[in-house]
Structure formats: C-alpha cells, structure tokens
Amino acid sequence: MSNAVFRGLPFRGFLARGAVSPRHAEFLRALRLRQTRVIVVQLAVLVGFLTLWQLAAHWRLIDPFITSQPAAIAGKLVELTEDGSLGYHVAVTVYETLVGFGLGTLLGIALAGALWWWDFLSDVADPYIVVLNATPKMALGPIFIVWLGATMVAVIALAVSISLFVTILSVYSAFRQADREKLVVVASFGASKWQQFSKVVFPSAVPTIIATLKVNIGLSLIGAIVGEFLAANAGLGYLIIYGQNIFNMSLVMTSLVILTVIAGVMYYAVTALERRFVPWRRD
Amino acid sequence: MSGRERIRGEGLSYTYLTRSGETLALKDLDLTVRDGEFCSIVGPSGCGKSTLLALISGLLRPTEGRLLLDGARINGTNRRVGILLQKDHLFEWRTVLKNAELGLEILGKGSAEARRHAHHLLATYGLGGFENSYPYQLSGGMRQRVALVRTLATDPDILLLDEPFSALDYQTKLILERDVHRIIRDNHKTALLVTHDIEEAVSMSDRVIVLSGRPAQVKNVYDIALTVAEPRTPMTSRDAPEFRAYCKSIWEDLEIEQRGL
C-alpha cells in the first residue's frame, strides 16, 4: 500500500528500497552507496594485486620460478581439482583441524569447569597450566611423532595441544568472573552447586567461549599444518612442503591460497554460531 | 502490630575474616519482625545493614548469637524468604519470562504450571507483552519489576529488600515503592527493607529500626503511626502531618552517627 503511494516518487529505486520517507530514502541511499563502495574497492585491491603480480612476472620484473604467478596458480588449481588430489588434501587438513579444534575446545571447557568446581585443584594446577600455556607447542611436535608415529593422530595431538591450554585459561577466568550477586540470586532460591554452574556461571561465559572458538579455529589450523610439515603424507601442509622440496612454487602458492580460503570459511562459520547462540547481545 | 513473631535475632554478631585482619560488622544486635509487618532498617552507609539481610536470608551464619525464623534456627537459604537487591541482576541471556521463571526452575517446579504462574505475575505487574524481550530492551524500572516478579514467583512470605529502589530515577522510584508496598500489603507478606533513604523508610514502614555506625547496633526504634486514610500508601504517608517529624528525628539520629565517624 505504502509502496503504491510512493511509486514513481524520487526516492524509489534499488539503493533506496524499503524507504519510508524521502529523508529515510536519502539516508539509506548514502548508507548503501558507502557499503557498495567498500566492496568495490576491496575487489579492486584484489584484482589490482593479481594483475600487477601477473604483469610483473610476464615482464620478468620478478622471477616466476620463485614467486609463481596467478595464471600458473589458476592452472595448478584446475589440475589438482581434475586429478582429485585437491579434495583429498583439503579433506585431510580440514578433518585434522576440526577434530583438533573440537577436542581442544571441549576438553579445555571441561577442565576449566573442573577448576571452577574444585578451587583447591585450581590453586594447585595454576602454575602448571601457565607454564604449559607459555610453552611453544610446536616444540612438542617431535615428541608426538615419536609417541604416536608419523600419523594423522600425531598431527591431531599437536592441533589439540595448541588450543587446549589457552582455552582452559580464558574459559576458567570467564567462569570466575561470573557476577557474584547473580550467584546470590540463585542461592536465595536454594540452588545447588551444579545449578549455580548451569544457570549462572556457564551462560555468563558463553560470549568468552565463542571468542575462544574464534581463536581456536585458527590455532588448530596452525597445529594441523605444522603437524603435516613435520610428519605427514597428506594434507595441505604436506603439499606445501612437497612443493618446496621439488621447487614447485606454483604448488606451494596454490596450497596457500586454498589454506586462506579454508581459514576464512571456518572463521565465518564460528561467527555464524555466535549469532545463533548469543542473541541477547545488542549489536 | 500484634502478629506472631517471624524473625528473631538475639545478640547477633558477625565478623568478616580476611588475610589482613577481621572486621566486626554487627555487634550484639537484637531484632524482631512480626508477621505482616513492614519493617525498615536505616543506618549510616557501610554499617552492616546488608550483612544483617545476608544473615536472615541464610547466605551467612552469625558469628555469635541466635537467629530464628518461625522459631527455628536459620540454617541455609529458605523458600519462605525472598530477596530483592539494589541491582536487578536479571540474566541478560534469558528473556523476561525465562528470568521470571528462574526461581521456580531451580526449585524444580513443573514447567508448564510455572510458566503460567510467571506469565500471570508479569501481566499483573504491567509487563504483559514483554515476555519474550531481553533485559537490555527494558527500562530500569521495568527491569526491577521483572526482578520483583522473579522473587514473588516462588511465593515467599517474607521479603528482604536490600535498597531495591536506590538505583532508580526519582519518579520511577516513587511508583515502584507504591507498587511494592501494595503487593506486600495485598498478599499479607512480611517485609524487611534496608535503605538509606529516610523518607522511603518512613513512608513505607510500620516500624523503622535505626542502626549505629559499624559495628552496627540498634540505636533507636520508631513505631510509625501516621494519620492517613486507609489504605495507606507511601504516597499518602508523605502527606501525613507526623511524616516530617519522624524523618527529622531519624535524620538527627543518623547525623549524630555520621559526626562520630
């Protein structure tokens, strides 16, 4: 109805869709024009970078043997897709990352819960967790390989170890920061310790847990790739090392591009989770 | 007031212990609250008023002395006692309705009936239509109303009010005082209000207990007898001829205390 009234008026148009008045239309148009500009410039930067890279390689300003070039990467991408190895290596890396991420996060939250439940345990464990968190987990790689063999299990163990301790520390601190007076509120209704945890402590930590997930997905990917560098015969990390060994920079660069895409997709998947599980947050 | 005795404290003392020492918050304090009575406690800030409520609610145990609820020693939190705090402490991850149901949920009450009860209370206290809103979408006064409904939902017959109006703007505060007062009267509940607002104490209460500075002891007790038409409300109380005199007298009690600090 309102559309019929406004049809043909100056503030109709794609950029002003949904407007309720001429002033609102102007506001929406400016807002959307800006959003569009941002996306256009983002694409321009990408295209410009790829073009410069390609031209520089073409005119021999840079040596494509060392830097590769977009056309070769695209060709490699098609080649890997056609022989089916791309899907395989991506699947291996994603599997290792997700299992490492899932285990590291769940175990981390469970241990943080245990520390909250038994404060004597947390006092005892505190220095050990801090030291283990500060230890560069990559250094554990060789140990895992000796213990678990040059297998996917060793790679997953590395991915878990890298996200576990930081999860324990940040989630435990979020548990402890739960509002004391909210605990008084539930205590006044006679809440048990488990009810204190499930009604107050855990829900108040959900935003922190989601933030931890965002960090952990990246950390687990690092763990999986480094694990594959050290000991694997499959996965994108393996592909990168293999490419380096046979001095095929196009293979290395192609793997890198795919890795970037995977990292991006996984990050946005976690962000989507946040919208689903933290609806009480105002934007 | 001739109702039976609900709360009785004899020689109550409470000491907070920390690494750096001990702080005596209450010392040898006696207190009685009768059934259906609206009783207020005023005192200098930091005198131990909130400690006293924590003792009665069973969250703390007295270091010395006896504290009885309906003749039995208070031993942990009790369903008959509900509390309302200065901040509303609504759970921001729960909707208004889920917040109102919290106490029932903890007590393990059947959810369908609990939901109906909470729903009914929300509608009664002017929150109909906001059941599915989140706390951040509500004004301060509405949030405190939800907190009140949450407390009332489990049907406690003694309400401990720990400065529940002090964080509200003046107008909202007067309205909420009136509503809380009416709810307590209409449902024959017993109330113990801690406040630093003398007018609030006099206008709402049957009795005002003035505490001394820390460690808190009872300094004076006023039975508030106002010439007002029934039903008395905090609004009409403020117009009673005796109102000013009570406020002035309590103010003087407190001023002497402050000077001593």
pLDDT tens-place string over residues A20-67: 888 888 898 899 999 999 999 999 999 999 999 999 999 999 898 888
Compute how many other C-beta atoms are within 10 angstroms of the C-beta atom of residue A30: 12
Average pLDDT of span A199-218: 92
Pair (B75, B195) in one structural domain: yes
**pLDDT of B1 over the 70 cut:** no
What is the per-residue pLDDT for A236?
92
Pair (B13, B107) in one structural domain: no
A206 at interface of B, judged by CB pairs closer than 8 A = yes
Residue A68 forms part of a structural domain: no
Count up the domains in chain A and report the number: 2
The residue of chain A with its CA nearest to that of B134 is A280
The token pair at B169 is 């703007």
Pair (B27, B133) in one structural domain: no
Looking at chain B, the number of H-run helices and the number of E-run strands are 9, 10
What is the per-residue pLDDT for A11?
58
Q: Which stretch of A5-19, A119-133, B33-47 has the lowest confidence by average pLDDT? A: A5-19
Cβ-based contacts of B152 with chain A (< 8 Å): none
Pair (B235, B165) in one structural domain: yes
A188 at interface of B, judged by CB pairs closer than 8 A = yes
Distance, CA of A178 to CA of A108 (rounded, Å): 18
The type of residue at A131 is V
Task: Please give the ipTM for the structure prediction.
Answer: 0.83
**pLDDT of B204 over the 80 cut:** yes
Pair (A174, A267) in one structural domain: yes
The two beta strands, B190-195 and B158-162, are: parallel
Residue B40 forms part of a structural domain: yes
**What's the CATH number where B213 sits?**
3.40.50.300
Compute how many other C-beta atoms are within 10 angstroms of the C-beta atom of residue A211: 15
Pair (B165, B235) in one structural domain: yes
Count up the domains in chain B and report the number: 2
**pLDDT of A1 over the 50 cut:** no
Residue A282 forms part of a structural domain: no
CA distance A205 to chain B (A): 11
CB contact under 8 A, B59 and A206: no
B135-139: list long-range contacts, CB under 8 Å, 24+ apart: B135/A280, B135/B88, B135/B90, B135/B91, B135/B92, B135/B94, B135/B96, B135/B99, B136/A280, B136/A282, B136/B92, B138/B96, B139/B172
CB contact under 8 A, B91 and A203: yes
What is the per-residue pLDDT for B2?
58
A208 at interface of B, judged by CB pairs closer than 8 A = no
What is the per-residue pLDDT for B74?
87
Q: Which domain holds residue B257?
A: 1-80+158-170+189-261
pTM of the model: 0.81
B80 at interface of A, judged by CB pairs closer than 8 A = no
pLDDT band at A222 (very low <50, low <70, confident <90, very high): very high
Residue B145 forms part of a structural domain: yes
Cβ-based contacts of B77 with chain A (< 8 Å): 187-190
What is the per-residue pLDDT for B114?
79
**pLDDT of A13 over the 80 cut:** no
Residue B58 forms part of a structural domain: yes
**A83 vs A6 pLDDT, higher one:** A83
Cβ-based contacts of A276 with chain B (< 8 Å): none
Q: Which stretch of A8-12, A86-90, B48-52, B238-242 has the lowest confidence by average pLDDT? A: A8-12
Angle between helices A249-277 and A85-117 (to 10 degrees): 40
Q: Closest partner residue to B154 among A189, A278, A282, by Cβ?
A: A189
Q: Which domain holds residue A246?
A: 74-277
Pair (B196, B123) in one structural domain: no
As a whole number, the mean pLDDT across chain B is 87
Pair (A80, A57) in one structural domain: no
Interface of A with B in 244-283 (CB under 8 A): 278-280, 282
CB pairs under 8 A between A and B: 59
**pLDDT per residue over B147-181, tens digit each?**
999 999 988 989 999 988 988 888 888 988 998 99
